[in-house]
Amino acid sequence: MADKTPDTAAENVQKVIQVAGSITVGELAELLNLSVTTLIGELFKNGIIATINQKIDFETATIIVEELGLDVVLEKKEVATGPTREEHTLSDKAVERPPIVAVMGHVDHGKTSLLDAILETKTVEGEAGGITQHISAYQVEKGGRKITLLDTPGHEAFAALRQHGATLTDVVVIVVAADDGVKPQTIEAIRFAREANAKIVVAINKMDKETANPQLVKTQLATEHNLNPEEWGGDVIMVEVSAKTGAGLDKLLENVLLVADIEELKADEHVPAKGLVIEAHMETGRGSVVGLLVEHGKLHPGQFLVAGTSYGKIRTLLDFKGAALKEAGPSTPVTVTGFKDLPQFGDEFGLVKSEKEARQATVANRLERERQAAETNVTGADILKLMSQKQEAADFNVIVKADVQGSLTSVMDSLRLIDTQGAVTLRIVGSGVGNISENDVHLAATEGTVIYGFNVDLPPAVKRQAARDKVEVRMYKVIYELLDNAKESMEALIAPEVVETVTGGLTIKGVFRTLKDEVICGGEVTSGKIVPGVMARVTRKDEVLAEVEVTKVQRNQVEAKEVFEGDMCGLSLKTNKKLVLELEDKLEFFTRELVKKTL
74-120 pLDDT tens trace: 766 654 444 445 567 888 888 999 998 888 887 778 887 888 888 87
pLDDT at 378: 41
Q: How many CB atoms lie within 10 A of CB 456?
A: 23
State the pTM of this model. 0.57
Mean pLDDT of 412-433: 79
Q: How far apart are CA 320 and CA 224, in angstroms?
A: 37
Q: How far apart are CA 372 and CA 394, in angstroms?
A: 29
Kindly give, in sequence order, each residue whose CB lies less than 8 Å from that of residue 233, ignoring residues fewer than 6 positions away.
none
pLDDT at 318: 92
Mean pLDDT of 538-561: 91
pLDDT at 304: 95
Provide the Cα torsion 445, 450, 456, 461; round to 10°. 30
- Beta strands 473-476 and 450-454 are parallel
Show the DSSP H helices in 34-110 as ranges: 36-45, 58-68
* pLDDT at 461 exceeding the cut of 50: yes
Q: What confidence category does residue 129 fall into, taking pLDDT thresholds of 50, 70 and 90?
A: very low
pLDDT at 50: 66
Annotate 311-350 with b (16+ C-beta within 10 A) or e (fewer): bbbbeebbbbeeeebeebbbbbbbbbbbbeebbbbbbbbb
Q: How many CB atoms lie within 10 A of CB 49?
A: 10
User: Regarding predicted confidence, which is higher, 310 or 388?
Assistant: 310
Domains in the chain, CATH or no CATH each: 6-76 (no CATH), 95-267 (3.40.50.300), 274-374 (2.40.30.10), 388-493 (3.40.50.10050), 497-595 (2.40.30.10)
* pLDDT at 163 exceeding the cut of 70: no
Q: pLDDT tens-digit profile of 429-459?
A: 888 888 898 888 888 887 678 999 998 899 9
* pLDDT at 41 exceeding the cut of 80: no
User: Regarding predicted confidence, which is higher, 53 or 357?
Assistant: 357
Q: pLDDT tens-digit profile of 487-512?
A: 888 888 876 777 889 999 999 999 99
* pLDDT at 375 exceeding the cut of 60: no
Mean confidence (pLDDT) of the chain = 81
Distances (CA, A) of 146 to 79, 498, 532: 40, 65, 82
